[in-house]
Structures are given as C-alpha cells and as structure tokens.
Amino acid sequence: MRRLLSHLFMALAFMFMAVPVFAQGGAAAGAVNWVAITAGFSMAIASGLCALGQAKATASAAEALGRNPAARPGIQLALILGLALIESLALYTLVIIFAKVN
Amino acid sequence: MTTAEPLTTDPNSEAFYAAALDRISRFMLVLTITLSAAAWWRYGWRIVLGFACGCAVAYLNFHWLKRVVTALADRATQPGRTQSSGGVVLRFLLRYVLMGLGAYVIFTVSPASLYGLFAGLFLPVAAIACEAAYEMWVAVARGT
C-alpha cells in the first residue's frame, strides 16, 4: 500500500511539473518575474536555516544548563548573543531581497 | 584523562562579563541617539522616523529575548518554580508580530522610511560589535 502511494505521489509530481508545457508561449512566457520567485525561495531558505540554527543553539544551551547549572550566566549570555546574531542573518536576507525586488 | 577546568576563575572577570548584557543595552541607547542625529543631518526626518521606530522595535525585541532566555534558563535549572510555558512562547512569538506590524505600518505610511526601519533593526548587531570592541580594548589594557 505504501509503495503504491509513493508511486502515485511521484506520478502526481511529474504531472504538476508537466503543467508548464500547456502554458501560453510567445511574449507571455518571457514575463516570468524570476527576481520575485528567487527572492521568495531565498527568504524561505534563510528563514528555515535560521530557525534550525536557533533550535540547535537553544537545545544545546538547555542541555548544558541541565548538566551544569552553575555555568548559567555564561551559557545565558552566549545564548542571547547567539540568538540575536542568528536573527540578524534572516534580517540581512530580508533587506537584500527588498533592495533587489524594489 | 584530563579534568575540565573552569574558563574563568577571576571574580573580577566574571563580574565584568556578567555585566555585558547591561552594557549592550546602554550601547543600543547611545547608538540610537548618535545615529539618529547623524541620519537627521544627512537624510531628513522621514528616514529618522523609520530609524527610530526600527531602533525601538529592536530594543524591545532584544529585551524580550533576554526575558525569554531567562525564563528558559529558570525552567532548565529550577524545575520547581517556573512560570507557564505558554507565557514564554507567547512572548517569543509576540516579538515577530511586533516587528511585522511595525514594518507594515511604516510601509503603509511612508515607504521611504522603510530603509530607516531596516537600518534600525540592526541595532543589536551594532551594539554587540561595540561590546566586542570594548571587551577587546579592556583585555588589551589589562594585558591578558
């Protein structure tokens, strides 16, 4: 059953990829706004990677705090600075995208 | 097998590094005033308005981040007396809502100020860089 479903989903994916074949050609085909599409993908990738980084930092800090509560001030400082800097990476991407799209 | 030694044993150093977050907050305030004055002179009041809004959002964002991390540390080290996890998560998510709302309002009212807002959102990075430079200067001055 699972094998059948995976085949079905693969077939559906190929069918969705084939949809542009039926698109209108000529001048309309050249009007694709690749900057906007790439901007959306890059923002999604940046946000996802920043979320993964924040999750990893928070999990490591929580684990370290659980093992060694006496080291709390240092771990807390490093976590706050790390989270702030990771968030700024997503902001860098947003600013670059905004500058390029506009 | 070697035993792990603590990184800092000097109480003065520990006190110095423990005050880093307060210094960063002060750096943020000083940078807001200094850069707003410079931007007013160079770009005009619209950009400064956006920059000031960005700085305010960034300051609040950093303050709430500190509180969320403190709550997380409380939860990890003192399992008995902790605040509700719902409040922690709500505060963490509210930061993003506030940033998005600020950006939307600025973009609706004055799109020219949006670049100022973006510049203001990087205030914590500039303050952390100032703190790093200050710590380096203190380390060089102490000869450590």
Domain count, chain B: 1
The residue-averaged pLDDT of A64-83 equals 88
State whether A62 and B20 contact (CB < 8 Å). Answer: no
Share of chain B above pLDDT 70, in %: 88
Please report whether residue B102 resides in a domain: yes
Q: How far, in Å, are A69, B2, B81 from residue A65 at the CA level? A: 5, 22, 16
Alpha-carbon distance of B86 to B78, in angstroms, equals 17
Instruction: Quote the pLDDT of residue A23.
Output: 57
Name B66's Cβ contacts closer than 8 Å, sequence gap at least 6.
A80, B21
What's the pLDDT band for A100 if we cut at 50, 70, 90? confident
Highest averaged pLDDT of the listed ranges A13-27, A62-76, B66-80, B82-96: A62-76
Architecture of domain A29-101: Up-down Bundle (1.20)
In angstroms, the CA A92 to CA B78 distance is: 36
Residue A11 reports pLDDT greater than 70: yes
Are B69 and A88 inside 8 Å of each other by CB? Answer: no
User: Structural domain of residue B87, as residue ranges?
Assistant: 45-142
pLDDT in tens, A16-55: 566 555 555 555 556 788 888 888 899 999 999 999 999 9
- Within 8 A of B125 by CB-CB distance, chain A residues are 84-85, 88
DSSP state of B143: T
* Residue B65 counted as domain residue: yes
Q: Decide if B107 touches A, using CB distance below 8 A.
A: no
Q: What is the pLDDT of residues B87-110, one digit of tens each?
A: 777 877 887 887 788 778 877 877
- The string of pLDDT tens digits covering residues B28-39 is 999 999 999 998
Q: What is the CA radius of gyration of chain A?
A: 22
Terminal alpha carbon distance of chain B:
28
The pLDDT value recorded for residue A1 is 63
pLDDT for A53 equals 94
Closest-approach residue (CA) in chain B for A79: B69
Distance between A85 CA and the closest CA of chain B, angstroms: 7
Name the residue ranges covered by the structural domains of chain A: 29-101
Task: For residue B88, tell me if it sits in a domain.
Answer: yes
Q: For residue B66, which residues of chain A lie inside 8 Å, CB to CB?
A: 80
The angle at the Cα of A3, spanning A2 to A5, to the nearest 5 degrees, equals 65
Kindly report the average pLDDT of chain B as a whole number: 82
- Set of chain B residues whose Cβ sits within 8 Å of the Cβ of A81: 128
Tell me the average pLDDT across B54-71.
88
Q: State residue A12's pLDDT score.
A: 66
pTM summary value? 0.74
Among chain A residues, the shortest Cα distance to B17 is held by A74
Interface contact flag, B77 A61, Cβ < 8 Å: no
The percentage of chain A sitting over the pLDDT mark of 90, rounded to a whole number, equals 25
Helix (H, G, I), strand (E, B) or coil at A60: helix
**A91: pLDDT strictly greater than 80:** yes
Going by C-alpha positions, the residue among B35, B71, B72 that lies closest to residue B54 is B35
B43-56 average pLDDT score: 88
Give B1's pLDDT tier (boundaries 50, 70, 90): very low
pLDDT tens digits for B106-136?
Answer: 778 777 788 888 888 899 999 999 999 998 8
B69 CB neighbours in chain A (<8 A) are: 76, 79-80, 83
